[in-house]
Structure 1
């Protein structure tokens, strides 16, 4: 029996946690695509779409509004920013997209787990009520909310 308690997320950060859920689904969909021998071109097209509609705006919100709570010199923020840059490079790699997509699905999932379990927990601990209120006032429901049309992950 797993005795881990569910993570308690402050209301201000819940929209970002919901976006993290979509990132985890993205990784799962890539794994399904690889397992189903879906062409790399189709997987890359989905990754390109996901980057523009979900990842890019999500990273910007975190970097502009969430990370400053701990400060750019904080070790957790330094790690998160390095991981953001690495993930962006994997999304943009044109030289070896199969390898990059394979790494991406692993690294994005690990990054999300780090942010959810470590970084956001620390931010919740140190953020003032004023900072959390400011975050709540920002509309974090980003992304197009349009569905990606090629549902290759359902084919298996």
Structure 2
């Protein structure tokens, strides 16, 4: 296994967002483990999707992915994963969440974040020119919003 590259500064804000995505996964799993009422977890998921996940996906799609060719296999994989995750959370919101759906969503989101961190970002750092990475950094700075939690019901905490 090759040693990971140091993360380029253009991708650091996106990686920080990924940390909060992994926290979402952990919170869902904690809620399931503690047998928290499903509606509480779904309400939090809805909040997180609206406030953080969807803006994050849009930033990746509108800025990051644009630096790769439309037919680039890594870009296509990331876009397909976004579509699948969107489909998954839409089903949870429309059909009502159950612990199995929530667990599957958490597993899928974690795998997606790992893909971007371990494969896509490494690939971009190698394939893109430094000037493109700098353009990307400027665009990310312009759009990126730092994740700030504003949610009262911490169902994942100890009782």
Deviates more, 1:130-139 or 1:33-42: 130-139
Contact 2:10 2:136 survives alignment (8 Å)? yes
Task: Give the alignment's TM-score, normalised by structure 1.
Answer: 0.90
Contact 1:57 1:143 survives alignment (8 Å)? no
Task: Give the alignment's TM-score, normalised by structure 2.
Answer: 0.89
Contact 1:53 1:143 survives alignment (8 Å)? no
Contact 1:20 1:112 survives alignment (8 Å)? yes
Contact 1:7 1:117 survives alignment (8 Å)? no
RMSD, aligned CA:
1.8
Question: May I ask how many residue pairs the two structures share in their alignment?
Answer: 154
Deviates more, 1:95-104 or 1:113-122: 95-104
- Per-residue CA deviation, residues 98-130 of structure 1 (Å, 9 max, x unaligned), is 132111100000000000000000011111222
Q: Judging changes above 3 Å, is the alpha-carbon distance between structure 1 residues 101 and 121 closer, same or farther for their aligned structure 2 residues?
A: same
Does 1:83 pair with 2:78?
Answer: no
Which residue number in structure 2 is paired with residue 64 of structure 1? 62
Q: Judging changes above 3 Å, is the alpha-carbon distance between structure 1 residues 144 and 5 closer, same or farther for their aligned structure 2 residues?
A: closer
Post-superposition shift, 1:32?
A: 0.2
Contact 2:25 2:109 survives alignment (8 Å)? yes
Post-superposition shift, 1:141?
A: 3.7
Q: Judging changes above 3 Å, is the alpha-carbon distance between structure 1 residues 4 and 25 closer, same or farther for their aligned structure 2 residues?
A: farther
- Per-residue CA deviation, residues 83-108 of structure 1 (Å, 9 max, x unaligned), is 10111111111225213211110000
Which residue number in structure 2 is paired with residue 49 of structure 1? 47
Aligned counterparts of 1:112 and 1:67: Cα–Cα separation in 2: 15
* Aligned ranges 1:1-156 → 2 under 5 Å: 5=3, 7-93=5-91, 94-98=94-98, 99-138=100-139, 139=141, 141-142=144-145, 145-156=148-159
Deviates more, 1:11-20 or 1:132-141: 132-141
Aligned partner of residue 153 in structure 1, secondary structure? coil
Q: Structure 2 unaligned runs (5+)?
A: none
Post-superposition shift, 1:146?
A: 3.5
Give runs of ≥4 in structure 1 deviating > 6 Å: none
